[in-house]
Structure 1
Amino acid sequence: MRNITLMFAPTGYTRRLAVAAMLLALTACTTTKVASLEEPAAAPMTGQTNDPAPGFETVAAGSEEDFILNVGRRIYFAQDSATLDSVAMATLDNQAAWLSKNPTWLLKLQGFADDSGSASSMETLSQKRADAAMAYLASKGVEARRMWAKGYGNDREVRDCTERSCKVQNRRVVSNLRTQPDAV
């Protein structure tokens, strides 16, 4: 057993080579100068819940990023339902207020479904969901000419899964900002 241990014991040269490699690796890790040039300094955090997410401190008001980060663009539905719940209505209320302040944006409402029915029934349901969101936004003062709705059924699942908690992610309407209508 002693012969085997001696065979793998590092020699003076091997030990020095290993130490040199570790020192080189450590020096390569000190990139503070490069990092400070590539990445802007983070805005000071106040500890409030409305602090901007790192990297999003300079999101312009009225931009698509502003809409996504500060308003929300997804609403969710119960299985086999196109009925808006209170959470969905609150998100749509925020969208309507934002759209009234930013009248140059158009809105495409994309409806989706899970795989709990036939493809044709899920496409119909996803269209009803998108239509329900559009009707609600119109009732809140968003001009109908600024919006259009399209149901995609379960063609574009967020997650392919069988658990109930996972399937809810597929039962949604996503509001996407546009500068012009989609080509037909």
Structure 2
Amino acid sequence: MKRNLALAVLVSGAIALSACGKKHAPDSASSLPPPGGQAQSGYGEYDPDGPGSQADLRRTAGSDRVFFDLDSYALDATDQATLRRQASWLAQYPNVNVTLEGHCDERGTRDYNIALGERRANAAKNFLATLGVAPARMNVVSYGKERPEALGSTEEAWAQNRRAVTVVIR
């Protein structure tokens, strides 16, 4: 009797542990996005490369970021074209919200760069709003010089760090 009970406990444990195993990739039919476009895998998880994703924004709009001159938050013609493509992409995904991150290069004080980063993020947000993106879909955050894209104290590195990035929120 004890032996049968021990065997039953062992089998039950093995079954329970097998349920905790690694998930298998869904087949191709179940990995298609559902109607309405929100990309999910067969397990209800978000597909980070599918429609409505950050990767999709970068592919479709050409970039998820715009760049600024030193001590500036003015959007040039190239930035405006990028934001127009982003607005068009956002129109395709009305349930997608974004955060606009403002960044600066390493020069200047922390407080100055936080304020400048916020002005950069708001410049991108306001331009997107003029193109029809609802302001309620967009948040703004400034990281100042705290999250550099490129390390180094060169003009090339600084130019990459003076940016506003549109980040898809999930």
What is the TM-score of this pair, normalised by structure 2?
A: 0.68
Counterpart of 1:158 in 2: which secondary structure?
coil
Residue number among 84, 108, 112 corresponding to 2:103 in the alignment: 112
Distance 2:168 2:52 in 1: 11
SS at match of 2:167: strand
Match of 1:97 in 2: 88
Distance in 2 between the 1:60 and 1:125 partners?
33
Structure 2: segments with no counterpart, 5+ residues: 1-48
Match of 1:7 in 2: none
CA RMSD of aligned residues (A): 1.2
Pairing of 1:25-174 with structure 2 (within 5 A) = 60-71=50-61, 72-174=63-165
Runs of 4+ in 1 over 2 A off after TM superposition: 59-65
Change (3 A) 1:114 1:64: closer
For residues 66 and 117 of structure 1, the distance between their equivalents in structure 2, rounded to whole angstroms, comes to 34
Structure 1: runs of 5+ lacking an equivalent: 1-58, 180-184
The percentage of aligned residue pairs carrying the same residue is 33
TM-score calculated relative to the size of structure 1: 0.63
Shift of 1:111: 0.4
For the pair shown, the structure with the greater C-alpha radius of gyration is 1
CA displacement 1:137-168 (0-9 Å, x = unmatched) = 00000001000111110000112212112210
